[in-house]
């Protein structure tokens, strides 16, 4: 993966990491980061649409700085990025993503879903052609995709069977993707119940647990800009699908799409803060939720670079922190 060296407009956010209660625990994390020759990592990758491309930059930084990722737990975009990385196919996915435009993305959206706008069949067929499928239990890195059972109202951890089926279940954003039928259970996006799924890593024999929370508090003035970009994306959907009438009440700046998206982001942010407060990782990387729009995959280079720089700044702060 190639990262540009030019300054990015997304590099102004403040970093955040786990701030332990005691001086001893601060020192514990600092010494782990500083003194081990190779650090074995459990990586928790949260949900958040296109913001999840920051996961790619974070993974690249960890690899370059002698952190060995031995376990991944992810939901939604975190399951997709983490699953492809565990299968050794992340570079292929990222290079493909950088080459496509909005029209190419729209062609992957089959507007024939039931219980959601998009069935996801065309998208997953493309992923299968692009990277192939694997059995999760055969991957060289331990991997768990987290989805939500909407009938039983509980998390579902998928750690065996088809990787692509697990990813499809975990990315089922309510109202956008059709819920996915998996082993007799109707599953939606894992972020509905646990946007940063740390629990699957509890029994890992690793040195550090690093969690990436894509639902951090908004910073700066980027929100309006991103909303307009997303509304533009919705308008392109409307133009592309000429036979489908998308009412103005859906795509307007105060319409259904905006309200649903903002509500879901706010809900996930609150849930993530509660979960991570109860079960804190060694290090938390908290990405602001107004970093970019949920469908801004056409900004891949920018978002990946942001994740890389954010990770670098956070680890520098940890090493320099007074204890």
Task: Please tell me the least confidently modeled range out of 93-97, 109-113, 242-246, 302-306.
Answer: 242-246
d(CA 70, CA 75) in angstroms, rounded, equals 17
Rounded to two decimals, the pTM is 0.83
Percentage, residues of the chain above pLDDT 90: 54
Q: In whole angstroms, what is the distance from residue 163 CA to residue 247 CA?
A: 36
Angle at 210 between CA 273 and CA 296, to 5 degrees: 70
Residues with a known catalytic role: 76, 189
Mean pLDDT of the chain: 82
- Predicted pLDDT at 154: 95
pLDDT at 147 over 80: yes
Q: Is the pLDDT of residue 13 over 80?
A: no
The structure tokens listed for 197 are 């799924």
Q: How many angstroms separate the CA atoms of 245 and 305, rounded?
A: 37
Query: Mean pLDDT, to the nearest integer, of 31-42?
Result: 77
Bridge partners of 69? 41
Residue 259 has pLDDT above 80, yes or no: no
CA–CA distance, 3 with 304 (Å, rounded to integer) = 8
For residues 47 and 170, give the distance between their C-alpha atoms in angstroms, rounded to a whole number.
9
Q: What is the mean pLDDT of residues 91-110?
A: 89
CA 49-290-177 angle, to 5 degrees, is 25
Quickly tell me which residue has 């694997």 as its tokens.
134
Decide if pLDDT at 10 tops 60: no
């Amino acid at each position: 993966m190639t990262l540009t060296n030019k300054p990015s407009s997304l590099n102004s956010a403040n970093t955040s990491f786990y701030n332990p209660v005691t001086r001893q625990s601060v020192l514990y994390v600092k010494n782990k980061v500083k003194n081990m020759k190779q650090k074995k990592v459990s990586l928790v990758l949260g949900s958040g649409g296109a913001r999840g491309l920051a996961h790619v930059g974070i993974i690249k930084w960890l690899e370059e700085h002698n952190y060995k990722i031995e376990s991944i737990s992810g939901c939604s975009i975190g399951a997709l990025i983490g699953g492809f990385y565990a299968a050794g196919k992340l570079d292929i996915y990222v290079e493909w993503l950088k080459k496509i435009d909005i029209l190419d993305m729209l062609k992957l959206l089959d507007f024939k879903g039931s219980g959601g706008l998009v069935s996801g069949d065309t998208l997953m067929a493309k992923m299968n052609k692009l990277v192939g499928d694997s059995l999760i239990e055969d991957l060289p890195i331990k991997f768990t995709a987290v989805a939500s059972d909407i009938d039983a109202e509980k998390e579902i951890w998928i750690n065996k069977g088809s990787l692509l089926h697990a990813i499809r279940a975990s990315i089922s954003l309510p109202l956008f993707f059709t819920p996915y039928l998996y082993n007799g259970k109707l599953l939606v996006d894992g972020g509905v119940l646990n946007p940063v799924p740390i629990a699957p890593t509890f029994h890992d024999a690793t040195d550090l647990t690093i969690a990436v929370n894509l639902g951090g508090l908004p910073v700066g003035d980027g929100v309006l800009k991103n909303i307009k970009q997303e509304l533009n994306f919705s308008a392109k959907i409307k133009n592309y699908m000429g036979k489908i009438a998308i009412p103005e009440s859906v795509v307007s700046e105060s319409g259904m799409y905006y309200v649903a998206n903002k509500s879901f982001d706010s809900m996930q942010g609150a849930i993530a803060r509660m979960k991570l407060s109860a079960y804190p990782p060694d290090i938390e990387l908290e990405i602001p939720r107004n970093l970019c729009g949920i469908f801004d995959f056409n900004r891949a280079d920018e978002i990946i670079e942001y994740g890389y720089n954010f990770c670098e700044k956070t680890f520098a702060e940890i090493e320099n922190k007074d204890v």
